[in-house]
Amino acid sequence: MAGLAESGSNPDVDLLYDINGLARSAPHWFDRGMEFVGEYGLLLAMVLLVLWCWWTVRRGGGEGAASSVAGLVWAPLAAGVAVLVNVPIRGFVERPRPFVDHQGLDVLVSGKTDFSFVSDHATLTMAMGVGLFVVHRKFGLAGIGLALVEGFCRVYMGVHYPTDVIGGFALGTAVALLLSPLAMALLTPVMKAVERSPRAGLLVRTRRAGLTGRRTTIPEARAERPDESDLAA
């Protein structure tokens, strides 16, 4: 293909053509599905994963429920902060979209006129995935897996170079981890205050989880009381 010849020995461009070439040979319905998944579907799946993790954490309760919920609040906030950090990065690098400089790409999404480096979608999903991983390992691994699929989809769709995706992964990870101590220091007291509220406390833990924690002290309290039969004697 002409595009392959133009790419020269640049592995970034070569990999772009290799992955995007899959779209050219795929059925039309599959490309339309990848378009939806890569543009909206995986972002929605990531949000649902965060909500599922929150539901699991609040039902489990425990002393660390407030800090866990604080971490789950930080995950989408980290994604938002990472995208804001990306604004000056894109303006500084000013890398055009791959279809601007390279011919023969099968571009599944039209209307992309902004710069390419780094990928907002890759940044968003990886920041949320890493934020989830800090709170819950299994949910975090699932989130990171979704982020990797998102990165593949962006290259498959012809709207990003592989290095755009890698840069997004790095940016999302850095923001989620480096700012996590500050975010947790600010959010954990807020979640503890919410937990003490009779109604809003349900956002942190269920009533059943709270009662379970209190009931553990009842047998101990009864054991300390003298037996009524002993008093009668």
Instruction: Give the pLDDT confidence score for residue 233 in this predicted structure.
Output: 41
Please report whether residue 166 resides in a domain: yes
CATH of the domain at 107: 1.20.144
4 assigned to some structural domain: no
Mean pLDDT, range 41-52, rounded to an integer:
95
Domain holding 170, by residue range, is 30-207
Mean pLDDT over all residues of the chain?
Answer: 85
For the segment 121-140, the average pLDDT, to the nearest whole number, is: 95
Domain membership flag for residue 162: yes
Smallest Cα–Cα separation from 154: which of 121, 126, 177, 130?
A: 121
In a domain, 13, yes or no: no
**pLDDT > 70? residue 89:** yes
Assigned domain for 213 exists: no
Question: What DSSP designation does 203 have?
Answer: G
> Phi and psi (nearest 5°) for 204?
-105, -40
- The answer as to whether 132 is a domain residue is yes
pLDDT higher for 43 or 200? 43
The answer as to whether 23 is a domain residue is: no
Residue 43 has pLDDT above 80, yes or no: yes
Average pLDDT over residues 161-173: 97
> How many domains is the chain built from?
1
Asked whether residue 6 is assigned to any structural domain, the reply reads: no
Is the CA virtual torsion 141, 147, 148, 150 positive or negative? positive
